[in-house]
Structure 1
Amino acid sequence: MTMQLGISTYTYGWAIGVNGQVSERPFTENHLLEKVKTFGMSLVQIGDNLPLHEFSPDRLKDFADTARNNHIQIEVGARGLTAEHLDRYIQIALQLNASLIRFVIDQKNYEPALPAIIAIIQNVLPELEKHHITLGIENHDRLKTSEFEAIMDAVNSPHVGICLDSVNSMGAGEGLEQVVNALAPYTVNLHIKDFGIQRLPHAMGFQIDGRSAGKGMLNVPWLLENISQYGRCKTAILEQWVVPETDLDLTVEKEERWAQESVDFLKNYF
């Protein structure tokens, strides 16, 4: 497999904090670097749940130095695709020597239309090209795959592609096979997130939630084969939707177990 496997802040979402629930020992970027070394890997992706633009200059420099000294590659991520925010993250990517920026388009009270999205990306193409940075737009659940295709076709740049998440588009009523068939040719970054679907006890509906990699319904070999055939996707990131326990500490412990199980499983394919 030509893709490089890594972990992200969304591998440890509960440890970092969800909806104001924060552990007494919050997970930081340095913990992530320690974890990736423990797993014998060398790639981390920082998502919007640990916003890099809120770091002080010294903290950002320390992170860059520690990663470089440990030969760990960084990818950066953000939410809210505005011209200003995208420019901000290009500068952060340069500071961290990151060649990929993953963006979720929407944020609270901000859901731009397709023409605005396309214009924002087109306007920044010279900077992406100049600095050899790739922008990966994540398939989140407001837009359909046809709309992501339209964005990619309009921009039409080797420096812009899709960050394909294996579960998000279910929120838009689209299954994984449909998503992969449409978006695999554009995919520059992959989020491997295993999942389960079960009928609720009252039989009036289904529930979708996370599983450790290899324990759910995600056909990982099929996914990797279909993404890798196009040769654009260089990195694959483990993300997790860990089903919470009654206590945050127990949930964080479970998240760590799932991370280890998932990495052990995924290493069979990388």
Structure 2
Amino acid sequence: MNPQPVSLEAMLQDTAELGGEVFQICDYPPLETFTDAELDRVRDAADELGLILELGTRGIGPRHLDQYLRMATRLGAPFVRSMIRPAASEPTLDEAPGLLARVVEAYADRGVVLGLETYEQLPTDVLVDLVRRVDHAALGIVLDPGNCVAALELPRDVVAATAPYVVNLHVKDFAFSRRGGWVGFTYAGAPLGEGLLDYDDMVRQVRPRERGINQVVEHWLPWTEDIATTCRLERQWTQHNLDYLRSRNS
């Protein structure tokens, strides 16, 4: 853990300095404790930096998604990412379509889109079927094909299956490397263009520029020898990946 954690405001500043245009506050539980005044300060900071805010969480419980809709509205965020968790406290897959249909009506009324991320915990065809059954413009899929490899799904197949329903992209590259002694593999992140992600094919199928879909840089950054070196490497990867995206989308 970083002994000097970066504040949310500093993350926004770094994003602007690196030339980013969108910042997704994703899997950041402290946000749920923010007062309206604190949320307003985050929105003001993003506005001053010219950044679009998005939110990210986990779970599809109606109360939880209602909370994130309220925060998204306060922050001026037009998008919320979530994911279906296989937990006893969560709605079942049988309950999910009806619950989501009611939730996304409220999201649509406030101009917010909800996206469910591809993950190894849920087969891609099940996720696609759920989105099809709800059949609402305010519900779609957050595509991250690297997540599904752990379920033995090929990234290219995941892209093809989800492309018509994608509303947000998590862009990260990934690669396998042999473990010490050549026993097994490590599956970890890689700088964009240096791993197994066929980025050009993904963009060809999803057409993010034509459809107004934001591309959010994400890392599976391997740990190095210490926190300072790891943080420097993270910034290098972020700059590299942003430059890569600009070179492919200009």
- For the aligned pair, the TM-score class normalised by the smaller chain equals over 0.9
Match of 2:14 among 19, 22, 35: 35
Out of 99, 104, 107, the residue aligned to residue 125 of structure 1 is: 104
Higher mean C-alpha deviation, range 184-193 or range 223-232 = 223-232
CA distance in 1, matches of 2:117, 2:72: 17
| Deviation of the 1:69 alpha carbon | 2.3
Residue 49, structure 1, aligned to residue 28, structure 2 = yes
d(CA) in 1 for partners of 2:113, 2:151: 25
Displacement of 1:252 after TM fit? Answer: 1.4
Aligned mates of 2:223, 2:137 — CA distance in 1: 39
Task: Find the aligned partners of 2:30 and 2:81 in 1 and give their Cα distance.
Answer: 12
Structure 1: tracts of 5 or more residues without a match: 1-20
User: What is residue 16 of structure 1 aligned with on the other side?
Assistant: none
Say if 2:178 is the partner of 1:184: no
Partner secondary structure for residue 167 of structure 1: helix
Report if aligned partners of 1:51, 1:78 keep a CA contact under 8 Å in 2: no
Name structure 2 gaps, 5 residues minimum.
Answer: none
Partner Cα distance (1:170, 1:155) in 2: 26
Q: 2:247 is matched with which residue?
A: 268
After superposition, what is the alpha-carbon deviation per residue over 1:166-223, rounded to whole angstroms, capped at 9, x for unaligned? 3111122211011011111100000001011133344443321001112212121111
For residues 231-262 of structure 1, give each alpha carbon's deviation from its aligned partner in whole angstroms, at most 9, with x where no partner exists: 54510100000010122222112111111121
Aligned counterpart, 2:175: 196
User: RMSD in angstroms over aligned alpha carbons?
Assistant: 2.0
Letter of the 2:178 partner, please give it: R
Alignment of 1:60-75 (within 5 A): 60-75=39-54
The farther-off stretch of 182-191 and 249-258 is 249-258
Q: Distance in 2 between matches of 1:92 and 1:74?
A: 11
Contact 1:145 1:182 in 2 (8 A): yes
Give the alignment's TM-score, normalised by structure 2.
0.92
Task: Name the aligned partner's letter for residue 49 of structure 1.
Answer: Y
Change (3 A) 1:213 1:67: same
Distance 1:230 1:32, change over 3 A: closer
What does 1:35-184 correspond to in 2, within 5 Å? 35-106=14-85, 110=89, 112-184=91-163
Structure-2 change in CA distance of 1:244 and 1:229 (3 Å) = closer
| Residue number in structure 2 paired with 1:239 | 218
Question: How far apart in 2 are the matches of 1:51 and 1:227?
Answer: 33
Aligned pair count reads 249
Classify 1:165/1:155 alpha carbon distance in 2 versus 1 (closer, same or farther; 3 Å).
same
| Offset at residue 107 of structure 1 (A) | 7.2
* Between structures 1 and 2, the one with greater helix share: 2
Which residue type is aligned with residue 67 of structure 1?
Answer: A
